[in-house]
């Protein structure tokens, strides 16, 4: 093996042939990636905690969008109907995720064998095809982060399939006509999520803890801003006494905590004490940021 010449580029490698020789430089087969000596080695690493947290974030996105659109289009319906749709959405995403995990090697198990990302370029091998001597381009595009790229596409495909299969039966059973719009919303946001993942998967992998923290703070402020009475006692009281507001607030706190844990990796758990900080900051300062007061001044 040591006498075989290394390949140009970051991701071109050689595979072992049946006669014991090695192929020409090219893309490694699916489930393999090139090593430092340009040999294609099988992906056999265990996913890190950060990898699982990334997968959790990508699964959380469609689930939160499902819940948001269900709550938006089903306003005024019976609470039992809305809760049933929320539970159905959870089952759809959970079953889609489980199906994707079982379909990938080792087949039939929720464990994964991965090639852990080592650099941002691992997500964009298409941009790193070498051109030896500035002549013919050597195409070595492959999934160097197998299967962290394709598993998201599988999860979204299976989840959408479960949505269009299960949700119509639930809506017919509960006679929830407005709930049909939530299915139409899913038919729009799943392709958008797929396109976003296809283009920005590597950037999302590197930055998702910060994305979670920033979005949770923004949506928390947005939730409070729609209240007519912006006084601190009223905001605090409505958040505790109103069941819907309390669930939304606790949901924001859980998501915020998830972002902090993804960022620190269970090493600095005292940061979790800052989870209620954005909500408390808004409640305490909202009365000083009334646009009418600023305009009058």
The answer, yes or no, to whether residue 197 has pLDDT greater than 80, is: yes
How many C-beta atoms lie closer than 10 Å to residue 204's C-beta?
18
Contact 25, 8 (CB under 8 A): yes
Which of 58-62, 113-117, 168-172 has the lowest average pLDDT? 168-172
Say what the pTM is.
0.90
Torsion over CA of 84, 86, 91 and 94, rounded to 10 degrees?
A: -170
How many C-beta atoms lie closer than 10 Å to residue 57's C-beta?
19
Q: Which residue has the tokens 């408390």?
A: 280
**Coil, helix or strand at residue 276:** coil
Q: What is the mean pLDDT of residues 6-15?
A: 90
Contact 145, 123 (CB under 8 A): yes
Cis geometry, peptide bond prior to residue 249 (ω within 30 degrees of 0): no
Cis geometry, peptide bond prior to residue 106 (ω within 30 degrees of 0): yes
Average pLDDT, the chain: 88
pLDDT at residue 1, rounded to an integer: 45
pLDDT at residue 29, rounded to an integer: 92
pLDDT at residue 181, rounded to an integer: 84
pLDDT at residue 2, rounded to an integer: 47
Residue 60 neighbours by CB under 8 Å, 6+ apart = 255, 258
pLDDT at residue 192, rounded to an integer: 97
Nearest to 164 by CA among 150, 195, 185, 178: 185
**159-198: burial string, b at 16+ Cβ within 10 Å, e else:** bbebbeeebeebbeebebebbeebbebbeebbeebeeebe
**Coil, helix or strand at residue 74:** coil
What are the two backbone dihedrals, phi and then psi, of residue 275, each rounded to the nearest 5 degrees? -55, -45
> How far is residue 35's CA from residue 112's CA, in Å, rounded to a whole number?
20
What are the two backbone dihedrals, phi and then psi, of residue 41, each rounded to the nearest 5 degrees? -115, 150
**4-15: burial string, b at 16+ Cβ within 10 Å, e else:** eeebebbbbbbb
pLDDT tens sequence across 199-248: 999 999 999 999 999 999 999 888 888 887 888 888 888 888 888 889 88
pLDDT at residue 100, rounded to an integer: 95
pLDDT tens sequence across 84-143: 889 999 999 999 999 999 999 888 888 899 999 999 999 999 999 998 878 888 899 999
Spell out the domain ranges in the chain: 1-42+120-142, 43-112+147-287
pLDDT at residue 171, rounded to an integer: 80
């Amino acid at each position: 093996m040591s006498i075989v010449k290394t390949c140009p580029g970051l991701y071109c490698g050689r595979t072992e042939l049946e006669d014991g020789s090695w192929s020409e430089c090219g893309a490694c087969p699916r489930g393999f990636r090139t090593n430092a000596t340009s040999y294609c080695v099988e992906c056999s690493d265990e996913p890190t905690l950060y990898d699982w947290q990334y997968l959790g974030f990508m699964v959380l996105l469609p689930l939160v969008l499902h819940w948001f659109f269900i709550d938006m289009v089903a306003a005024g319906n019976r609470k039992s109907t809305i809760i049933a749709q929320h539970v159905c959405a959870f089952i759809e995403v959970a079953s889609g995720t489980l199906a994707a995990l079982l379909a990938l090697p080792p087949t039939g198990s929720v464990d994964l064998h991965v090639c852990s990302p080592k650099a941002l370029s691992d997500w964009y091998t298409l941009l790193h095809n070498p051109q030896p001597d500035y002549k013919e381009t050597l195409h070595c595009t492959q999934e160097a982060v197998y299967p962290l790229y394709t598993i998201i596409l599988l999860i979204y495909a299976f989840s959408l399939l479960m949505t269009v299969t299960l949700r119509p039966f639930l809506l017919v059973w509960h006679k929830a006509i407005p709930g049909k719009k939530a299915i139409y919303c899913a038919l729009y946001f799943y392709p958008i999520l797929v396109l976003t993942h296809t283009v920005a998967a590597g950037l999302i992998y590197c930055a998702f803890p910060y994305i979670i923290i920033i979005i949770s703070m923004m949506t928390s402020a947005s939730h409070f801003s729609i209240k007519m009475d912006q006084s601190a006692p009223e905001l605090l009281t409505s958040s505790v006494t109103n069941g819907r507001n309390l669930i939304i607030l606790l949901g924001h706190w859980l998501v915020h905590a998830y972002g902090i844990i993804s960022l620190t990796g269970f090493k600095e758990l005292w940061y979790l004490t800052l989870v209620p900080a954005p909500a408390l900051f808004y409640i305490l300062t909202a009365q000083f940021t009334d646009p009418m007061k600023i305009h009058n001044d």
